[in-house]
Amino acid sequence: MSHEPMQCPRCQRTMALGFASSAATIPRLTPDQVVAFVHADHDVHAPPLWKKLLPHVAAYFASHLCEACGVYAIEFHRSLSSDEAKAMARAALDATPAR
Ligand SMILES: [Zn+2]
């Protein structure tokens, strides 16, 4: 499984492939939470009850980091199994010239 490199929407450079894990919470606050002065450490990032009760199944999402300007994009539209993420990672490593 390969993955096309993504161009940075801000500076058009090629972004570095990475992965976001379903086990990691993404720091994101909505505008109304910020207006209400909700602190990021507050319970807004606690997993919902069903996620605490059900067995955890690892899922990954392809992500892209622009090392030049810091834009970070995560492809939440498609989750990847551990095997799919590993295959994509190997393809990306194989496509990267040796340093
Ligand atoms: Zn950029």
Could you list the pLDDT tens digit for every one of the 99 residues in the chain? Answer: 667 889 999 999 999 999 988 766 666 777 887 778 766 555 655 666 656 666 667 788 999 999 999 999 999 888 999 899 999 999 988 887 765
Predicted pLDDT at 35: 78
End-to-end CA distance of the chain: 23
Ligand 1 centre and the CA of 2: distance in Å? 22
Ligand 1 centre and the CA of 63: distance in Å? 14
Q: What is the DSSP string of 41-89?
A: TSGGGSPPHHHHHSPP---EEEEEE-TTT--EEE-TTS-B-HHHHHHHH
pTM above 0.85, yes or no: no
Predicted pLDDT at 34: 74
Structure tokens at 36: 């209400």
Pairing type for strands 72-74 and 16-21 reads unpaired
Ligand 1 centre and the CA of 57: distance in Å? 32
Ligand 1 centre and the CA of 15: distance in Å? 7
Predicted pLDDT at 93: 87
Predicted pLDDT at 15: 95
Ligand 1 centre and the CA of 42: distance in Å? 31
Domain ranges of the chain: 16-90
Predicted pLDDT at 72: 93
Ligand 1 centre and the CA of 47: distance in Å? 31
CB 64, CB 6: distance < 8 Å: yes
In Å, how far are 22, 46, 59, 94 from 91, measured between CA atoms? 21, 34, 18, 5
